[in-house]
Structure 1
């Protein structure tokens, strides 16, 4: 873990947001109206990891929003050895780590305030 992330070790929970490299096996169950969708991934293995990674990032964001909605402080981070983490928690190699996030109630005197955000006009473009 990088120096800047060591304070996260004081959090009561550190969640691993990962992605399943065999997610497509669940498509017939979770996407029953299009069971052939599974074949898209079976027949195009190069599509699996980018799709899984992108969707895990979205699910991780929803997870953090839900945690904040119930009053928890959330500290998402990179700066850790994902290969070591995967070896420890996902040794079969079917799941890989996207990012980790600390959860808990931070010390109000030490929690970093929200950083500035770009105005919409500067950070986005409607085409």
Structure 2
């Protein structure tokens, strides 16, 4: 993996953190066809898609409830 791709992914993470700090809902998405996205949005070939992020304000009550999480002592063993 080229370091530029990895660095762009890290910058994307900072974008998400900044957006959330401003009160936006956001979610990174994978599982798309990058060739089709590049063809649709970057036909000149100067840019290439790394990941997709949706940004906006979610509808109140439109979110699925958060799933159960394990307790700290269930997943960590301090040596």
Shorter-chain TM-score range:
0.7 to 0.9
* Alignment: residue pair count: 73
Name the CA distance, whole Å, in 1 between partners of 2:20 and 2:49: 22
Judging by fraction of residues, say which structure has more helix.
1
Distance apart, 1:111 and its partner CA: 1.9
Give the structure, 1 or 2, with the largest relative contact order (CA under 8 Å, sep 6 or more): 1
2:17 is the alignment partner of 1:65 = yes
Structure 1 consecutive aligned stretches of length 4 or more whose deviation exceeds 3 Å: 112-119
Distance apart, 1:96 and its partner CA: 1.4
Unaligned 5+ runs, structure 2:
none
Q: Could you state the TM-score of these two structures normalised by the residue count of structure 2? A: 0.74
Computed over aligned residues only, the root mean square deviation of the Cα atoms, in angstroms, reads 2.4
Distance apart, 1:83 and its partner CA: 0.7
Distance apart, 1:113 and its partner CA: 4.3
Judging by fraction of residues, say which structure has more strand.
1
- Pair 74,118 (structure 1): closer, same or farther in 2 beyond 3 Å: farther
Unaligned 5+ runs, structure 1:
1-48
